[in-house]
Amino acid sequence: MSSQTIRNFTLPLSEQEIVSLKCGDVVRISGTVYTARDAAHKRFVQALEKGEPLPIALQNAAIYYCGPTPTVQGEIIGSCGPTTSSRMDDYAPKLLESGVKVMIGKGKRSPAVNEAIKKHRAIYLAAIGGAGALYKHKVTSCECIAYEDLGCEAVHKLYIKDVELLVATDSHGESCLK
């Protein structure tokens, strides 16, 4: 990381905190995130379209695009690195419309997702790909809460502590990843 100041935040982020962040800022976050990948996103959107309840509250939620590996006995979680965010791009606008405020993953987003981030005053934070073995040490609790049948793609509620991330797309629609 550069010598720039790293700002500390606790999830959920307030709207004021979200709009204060700019593309390229480095943040250190702690708080609750929910893991969800493609299959879980598809189920979320299907449930929303049918008017069915979701297993998590999306309002002000932080979604981490991650599928944790199996946990070794005595540990909280297995490796838990980010997956490619563009795999969720078909679903992200609907989830942002439904209240999601923070998305964490790796790689660039589509123009439609960047526009939805701007429209709904949300933020996309980039994590380091290949660092799952390091990120697992930033997780202080892990609970599988939905779609257990999806295996590693099940939805987990994680409490993370001091995870450093890059603001890749800010609430103004500016993206650092072209």
Give residue-wise pLDDT tens across range 157-177.
999 999 999 999 999 999 999
DSSP states of 34-62 as a string? EE--HHHHHHHHHHHHHTPPPSS--TT-E
Q: Judge whether 62 lies within some domain.
A: yes
Q: Judge whether 176 lies within some domain.
A: no
Q: Judge whether 104 lies within some domain.
A: yes
Q: Judge whether 19 lies within some domain.
A: yes
pLDDT tens digits, 128-161: 998 999 999 999 999 999 999 999 999 999 999 9
Q: Judge whether 174 lies within some domain.
A: no
Q: Judge whether 84 lies within some domain.
A: yes
The confidence band for 4, taking pLDDT boundaries of 50, 70 and 90, is: confident
| pTM to 2 decimal places | 0.95
What proportion of the chain, given as a percentage, has pLDDT over 70? Answer: 98
Domain count, the chain: 1
Q: Judge whether 22 lies within some domain.
A: yes
Rounded CA-CA distance 178/74 in Å is 41
pLDDT tens digits, 108-121: 999 999 999 999 99
- Residue 39 is predicted with a pLDDT of 97
List the CATH number of the domain containing 122: 3.20.130.10
What's the token pair of residue 95?
A: 């989830």
Q: Judge whether 175 lies within some domain.
A: no
Give residue 162's domain range: 7-169
- Residue 1 is predicted with a pLDDT of 44
- Residue 3 is predicted with a pLDDT of 58
